[in-house]
Amino acid sequence: MIREHVAVHRTKAKEHKINPLWEVCMLQTYFVGKGRIDYFVVVDNIIEKKLITLDSAALLKEEEKDLFIKLENDYQDVKGDIEKQATIVQDFGDSRSAQVPWLERTGFPGHLVGLKDEEIKSSSQLPRKSEGDEKADVNLVRIIHAAESVLRDAYALRVSVLQESVNASEIFLDV
């Protein structure tokens, strides 16, 4: 292919030193469409061996400096607002995320709207035990034992149902 190119343009590789046929450059790729990639040239400051500093950059007018300072402050304010807003649960009605049917049926997401992440997390954590809390923890211990008992019964029921279905399938296979 190179030989064909050289033959068409009637240039030889040794002429590259006198009259460069190409020059080294950096390319950046971008996707134009499905399966199609294009390139564009990127200027590399390392090749020029000079660093753009505040002194070498074009000096800004006072109004431009004030504008950039104001823009930076606005950016920081908006960034803080976004971070604060991200910690609060939003309404799920307009959400494009995957909706879980049982959550919608129970209406559980509606109870979370407006709550902060810390509030939700703290609602599922047990309080730290302090001295003298033994009497106050009696009800909590009863609730935990009751919930544990219900979960064990549900698990045992599920296992027995699965065992019965396995036994039933063995009966049909024996016939």
Distance in angstroms (rounded) separating the CA atoms of residues 42 and 49: 15
Range of the domain at 9: 2-48
Residue 63 identity (one-letter amino acid): E
Per-residue pLDDT tens digits of the chain, which is 175 residues long: 667 776 777 777 777 778 777 777 778 887 777 778 888 787 766 545 555 555 545 567 888 888 889 999 999 999 998 888 877 776 666 665 556 666 677 777 677 777 887 887 777 777 676 666 566 678 888 888 899 999 898 888 888 877 777 776 666 555 4
- Is residue 89 assigned to a domain? no
Q: What is the DSSP letter of 21?
A: S
CA distance 32 to 41: 16
3-class SS of residue 29: strand
- φ, ψ of residue 65 to 5 degrees: the values are -60, -45
As for how many domains the chain has, the answer is 1
Predicted local distance difference test score (pLDDT) of residue 8? 75
pLDDT at 75: 92
